[in-house]
Structure 1
């Protein structure tokens, strides 16, 4: 049987974007960028670049939103010398993209961006403008433009990841998977911010310790202003506390040489992508394989309900009578 550390490594592998997905994202991005920068778009886009979790290599699969900054020439939008109204800019982006055959009826506004919904991923197109070299994006109320500095955040995350043996981004992916599995409303960007703060101070020897350290320290770095409401902030804070207690329980089990029990605790936290198969589950899979009803998908792994059917074969437990 695999060790907990081996299971964690496999877990990270299970949620990391594949090379094939990388190629698919690049192709879709290139097409979207080309369309945004066409003169006939009348969008006055001068620069298009990827940002967010994909660009920082903390995105997980199944794929979700991929962030794109589209920097406009503010002078082409200016109204009597004033900066353009964010809603007017977003409407112009939405209408143009929706007029293209590639994106027809696949475009919606999701403030403060325009989202292009494709079959296997979404692109969040964020109109932005530069003032004195600084980058500005629409605020959440679409009433004005606010300063943003994605490059500094990316540089800080890269620095911390490098200083901690290139493991911090894997920790961030694990926390994002917990967020998705537990349906928590902590912003993905804030998960990264907390990781930067925590691992600027704390060191660790392996991913078990690193992931546990994030949950043990996150409460102190959680910012209520990053949430839509104080109630959401409070709920996430309480959930993080419970995960911290579970991981500490798993650590104790590990120290008591109860590795399989520790792995079950981790699976309970991180869900179907964490590779733990107990005897009953193994028997179920073996029976399904014998009957030809076992399935597999890259998103969920082995399953009796989701994915492509596998050819029938005698399972580990032999013939089924």
Structure 2
């Protein structure tokens, strides 16, 4: 089998927004992939068996720590930090492909956890290092908007890349305004999912269009944010930084420590 043992690679690695440095505090969603030996542990076993073994081992090692199976991951909650642990199988001939448990834990599915890091690094370089900080600002604005359900982190990152594939981030005030304006326009002209994952097979915003209420609320928040940022930008261009900063503080609220 091209799937390999643990001898040749690091036993674990971070992925998701934590590894891409786009996570905002509190650190309550840290993705940790743990490689397992295919021949010894995964061959002829379904993911559910592996996950239950992981849960048992973790509870034995951390008896006083909240641990629960939350497919397709295992949630481990330490003080102010929550990890989502996923057992994965890697391939000898392709460093980008991994097998991870499906949501129902009945089969293994392929994923490409390294691809987002690459396009994000390119986007950040293209925008003079302002891209990643701007993503974190957008995430803070979304958190401050108090939506009933969260907008997925990866969706925000890909949406931001979509916006700034046409614009270049010159500074943060105009960057936030352009994000809100461009996102407003995208929603105006799309009545179905339009943000494609890096592999090109699925839409990362499909969940949003399957929840009409969340979609409606998110659009309304974008409209409100666009109105406020437009006011802030007008003050900022006039050199009136005080009123501009006050409006931006209203947009973002107080970040968590």
TM-score range normalised by the length of the shorter chain: 0.7 to 0.9
Structure 2 counterpart of 1:268: 250
Structure 1 counterpart of 2:69: 109
Compute the displacement of 1:173 (Å).
Answer: 0.8
Distance (Å, rounded) in 2 between the aligned partners of 1:159 and 1:117:
33
Matched, 1:85 2:46: yes
Compute the displacement of 1:256 (Å).
Answer: 4.3
Q: Hey, which bits of structure 1, 4+ residues long, moved more than 6 A?
A: none
**Closer, same or farther: CA 103–172 of 1 in aligned 2, 3 Å:** farther
Structure 2 counterpart of 1:151: 114
Distance (Å, rounded) in 2 between the aligned partners of 1:127 and 1:224:
25
CA contact (8 A) 1:224 1:233 kept: no
Distance (Å, rounded) in 2 between the aligned partners of 1:93 and 1:178:
36
TM-score (norm 2): 0.78
Distance (Å, rounded) in 2 between the aligned partners of 1:181 and 1:164:
25
Aligned CA RMSD, in angstroms, stands at 2.5
Larger gyration radius, structure 1 or structure 2: 1
Structure 1 counterpart of 2:134: 171
TM-score (norm 1): 0.64
Going by fraction, where is helix more abundant, 1 or 2? 1
CA contact (8 A) 2:22 2:133 kept: yes
Matched, 1:194 2:175: no
CA contact (8 A) 1:85 1:144 kept: yes
Compute the displacement of 1:257 (Å).
Answer: 4.4
Distance (Å, rounded) in 1 between the aligned partners of 2:52 and 2:208:
26
Distance (Å, rounded) in 2 between the aligned partners of 1:226 and 1:135:
23
CA contact (8 A) 2:29 2:81 kept: yes
CA contact (8 A) 1:198 1:217 kept: yes
Provide, for residues 234-290 of structure 1, a one-character-per-residue CA deviation record: whole Å limited to 9, x for no partner.
Answer: 4323322321222112212333444322222211110024xxxxxxxxxxxxxxxxx
Provide, for residues 46-101 of structure 1, a one-character-per-residue CA deviation record: whole Å limited to 9, x for no partner.
Answer: 7311111221111222322211111222333333xxxx32322222211110111x
Distance (Å, rounded) in 1 between the aligned partners of 2:88 and 2:123:
28
Give structure 1 stretches of 5+ with no counterpart: 1-36, 38-44, 274-297, 300-321
**Closer, same or farther: CA 52–103 of 1 in aligned 2, 3 Å:** farther
Distance (Å, rounded) in 2 between the aligned partners of 1:115 and 1:78:
24
Give structure 2 stretches of 5+ with no counterpart: 1-5, 187-193, 196-203
Distance (Å, rounded) in 1 between the aligned partners of 2:51 and 2:226:
41
**Closer, same or farther: CA 271–147 of 1 in aligned 2, 3 Å:** same
| Count of residues paired in the alignment | 227
Structure 1 counterpart of 2:55: 94
Q: What are the residue-to-residue correspondences of 1:56-71 with 2, within 5 Å?
A: 56-71=20-35
Matched, 1:52 2:16: yes
Structure 2 counterpart of 1:241: 223
CA contact (8 A) 2:235 2:241 kept: yes
Provide, for residues 28-53 of structure 1, a one-character-per-residue CA deviation record: whole Å limited to 9, x for no partner.
Answer: xxxxxxxxx8xxxxxxx973111112
Of residues 102, 105, 120, the one that matches 1:139 is 102
